[in-house]
Amino acid sequence: MKKAMSYAKEFFHRADIFLLVMGLICAIFGIVVISSATASYHSAKYVIVQSASLILGVFAFVVMTVLDVDVLADKWQILCAFNVVFLLLLIPFGVSDNTGNTGWLRFFGIGIQPTEVVKLTFIIILAKQISYLKEYHDLNSVWSVAQLAGHFVLLFGLILVVSSDLGSALIFFSIFLVMLFAAGFALHWFAIGFAAIAAMIPLLWKFVLHDYQKNRILAPYDSSIDPTNTGINWQPHQSKIALASGQWTGAGLGHGTQSQSNALAGKHTDFIYAVIGEELGMIACILVIVLLLIIIIRCVMVGIRSGSNMGSLVCFGVAAFLTFQTFENIGMCIGITPVIGITLPFFSYGGSSLFTTFAALGMVSGIHFRPRPKRNSIYY
């Protein structure tokens, strides 16, 4: 018993408890809003699932804090195989769950989104790859660039082929860009890369993207696609109505007109921010942004202070996907970005999302957990 108490005391002393507390505040805030948003469904399922996912997420935070990310990275071959196999399961078993893509696995009533889990392993593998190339080769050599580009293109393409989930694929793109920039990748390679993407866009547009995906991308910027706001613009239009009606203090939990009438589709998932705005007001919306910014800045600060390439890159990778998802989700709700099914971290309903987000925070906490001298070198 005394030994267990000693371990617990050491954990609370060395782990990033501030990061855990901030995550808990956001997640509990989210559960409260989810409860209100789903009140008209007359089912406690959503609150129960989200609460259970939070408990599992805290457990994942603890496990990922204690595990050494360097040790996990040394098993990169296994992690790569896991990524490929897990994503390939979407071909025979993938279901849409009314999302427009087949990005979900559902067994015995439990839904899992493989891309959520693969985000974490991708960050670890990419951090290992960049760190290795930086330490033993020239990161900006043609060979290094080819390896990194090949790694990303294969995973990005696999996600699009097996699930048509453009939203998730773009999250991986944001992680890739931020981690390369943080590693000191030469700016001319970014310019070449963006030029290559620009050249590929017409091919992707014609042969890869479906018509509904094209319309979703263009809808926020082309009013002729849905001038009556009854089709593809229905969700963002209702979201803007909800946000505007909430004014500064909101109508109160359970009293939102759009939220409680079910006019707002995806109100407990992709458009949870609109529910917050309608029922709790602009003040609460600003609070959500501040809370998420604190978490993102904390991840960046841990990375800067980590003392190792590997640790820094992992932290920046986590900060990257949190930043992109926050910007894209809020952008969807206010009508300035396409509706591509991106959740708001911690707040949106989704067991896979909440669990993996806490696991990601655990990875950052693990970098904070280990003494600086033990992280000065990646390879021993």
Query: Residue 307 phi/psi, 5° resolution?
Result: 85, 5
DSSP 374: G
Of the given ranges (53-67, 101-115, 279-293), which has the lowest mean pLDDT? Answer: 101-115
Look up residue 299 and give its amino acid. C
Q: What is the pLDDT of residues 110-120, one digit of tens each?
A: 778 889 999 99
Identify the residue whose tokens are 């509990």.
28
Of the given ranges (8-12, 72-76, 195-199), which has the lowest mean pLDDT? Answer: 8-12
Other CB atoms closer than 10 Å to residue 167's CB: what's the count? 25
Enumerate the β-bridge partners of residue 96: none
Choose between 265 and 191: higher pLDDT: 191
Assign 215 a pLDDT band (cuts: 50, 70, 90). Answer: confident
Other CB atoms closer than 10 Å to residue 316's CB: what's the count? 25
Q: Which residues contact 298 (CB under 8 A, 6 or more apart)?
A: 16, 18, 19, 22, 364
Choose between 41 and 8: higher pLDDT: 41
Task: Report yes or no: 9 and 354 within 8 Å, Cβ to Cβ.
Answer: no
Q: What is the pLDDT of residues 271-301, one digit of tens each?
A: 999 999 999 999 999 999 999 999 999 999 9
Query: Residue 106 phi/psi, 5° resolution?
Result: -130, 115
SS in 3 state form for 30-42? HHHHHHHHCHHHC
272-305 vs 234-246: helix axis angle to the nearest 10?
90
Which pLDDT score, from 0 to 100, does residue 370 have?
78
Q: Which residues contact 373 (CB under 8 A, 6 or more apart)?
A: none
Choose between 106 and 188: higher pLDDT: 188
